[in-house]
Amino acid sequence: MVDYVEVNGALIAYRITGPKDAPLFITLHGGRGFGDHRSDFRAYQPLSDEFRVLSFDYRGHGQSSPTKPYTFDQIVDDVESIRRHFSSEDEGAIICGGSFGGFLAQHYAIKYPDKVRYLILRGTAPSYHQEEDAIKILEQRIHKAPSFSVEMLRDKVFGRFESDLEFRLVHLAMSPLYSEKFDANAALKSCLENVYNAESHNDLYSDQEKYFDYRQDLPKVTAKTLVVVGKNDWICPPEHSEFIASRIPKAELFVVENANHAVHLEKNKEVLAKIREFLRR
């Protein structure tokens, strides 16, 4: 069961677990317009023996209210308001973002550098240029998703959807690409349970938002940083994680063999062990 908190005019659905006096570990989920907190909370909940694990749905996502505007900067400001709500003004948080959540985590670490104790980035990229490489990889792996196409990726996933239903159908078609061992029944169940908000997606892929680029600002990140990526990640290829790790001062790169974009789910024990080791230093 989720709880709700009002943040900057939006009603935000969240779950939190762990000791009240433990460091705050905030997860930022992937999926522009369709992601929610559930998979991240499931993946990182085991860390609640040492940390307060907080996962939430962005505005216009999951069970949170469809309150506009849907922009990177607004969501990042929501993250900061949520951090202040669950911790003291001066207490920094551990920020853990994957995929789209990784874009936001970088944005947050650049905008609020003194509020990030540790930064964990999973399967993400420093700029929109990742889309070009994802299209190239899809051309090589299209046999894995016979109901999907390059045009759907370029014009829909990286563009605009005409309806929530079209969004749902395209996401189901591309699901086989996300993990090394595809479970069709689980993918169908997930797509039926997900909330798909085409308006949220489209706003976050508008010309004002689509062309994000943090490459020049990464050296400004002051938090201790761990960059995690599956070696076979197709939509945020490993070279983008390598670039991030090379630009953030003293960042550590952790490439996981035999894992794809959902590395935190496919190799959960391995990833959590690495995170624990990183945070205990």
Same domain? For 179 and 276 the reply is: no
Query: Could you tell me the CA-to-CA distances from 22 to 133, 220, 280 in Å, in that order?
Result: 40, 27, 13
Same domain? For 31 and 107 the reply is: yes
For residue range 8-31, what is the model confidence (pLDDT) as tens digits? 999 999 999 999 999 999 999 999
**pLDDT at residue 200, as a whole number:** 98
**pLDDT at residue 229, as a whole number:** 98
Same domain? For 227 and 187 the reply is: no
Q: Find out whether 79 and 89 touch, Cβ atoms under 8 Å.
A: no
For residue range 167-222, what is the model confidence (pLDDT) as tens digits? 999 999 999 999 999 999 999 999 999 999 999 999 999 999 999 999 999 999 99
Strand boundaries in 29-136, DSSP class E: 52-56, 93-98, 116-122
* Single-letter amino acid code for the residue at 234: W
Same domain? For 156 and 35 the reply is: no
Same domain? For 159 and 256 the reply is: no
Of 204, 223, 240, the one marking the end of a domain is 204
Distance CA 238, CA 230 (A): 7
Same domain? For 88 and 138 the reply is: no
Of 157, 183, 204, the one marking the end of a domain is 204
**pLDDT at residue 140, as a whole number:** 98
**pLDDT at residue 46, as a whole number:** 98
Same domain? For 198 and 108 the reply is: no
Same domain? For 145 and 169 the reply is: yes
Taking alpha carbons only, the member of 271, 200, 185, 204 closest to residue 233 is 271
**pLDDT at residue 89, as a whole number:** 79
Domain count, the chain: 2
- Other CB atoms within a 10 A radius of the CB of residue 144 amount to 14
Same domain? For 161 and 229 the reply is: no
For residue range 43-57, what is the model confidence (pLDDT) as tens digits? 999 999 999 999 999
The residue range of the domain holding 26 is 3-129+212-280
> In the predicted model, what is the mean pLDDT of residues 90-113?
97
Same domain? For 162 and 121 the reply is: no
The pair of structure tokens assigned to 113 is 């550098």
Distance CA 9, CA 204 (A): 18
For residue range 223-269, what is the model confidence (pLDDT) as tens digits? 999 999 999 999 999 999 999 999 999 999 999 999 999 999 999 99
For residue 26, what is the domain's CATH number?
3.40.50.1820
Of 144, 176, 204, the one marking the end of a domain is 204
**pLDDT at residue 90, as a whole number:** 84
Please, what is the average pLDDT of the chain?
97
Distance CA 60, CA 126 (A): 23
For residue range 113-163, what is the model confidence (pLDDT) as tens digits? 999 999 999 999 999 999 999 999 999 999 999 999 999 999 999 999 999
Query: Could you tell me the CA-to-CA distances from 194 to 27, 83, 161 in Å, in that order?
Result: 18, 26, 16
Same domain? For 8 and 114 the reply is: yes
Reply yes or no on whether the pLDDT at 88 is more than 90.
no
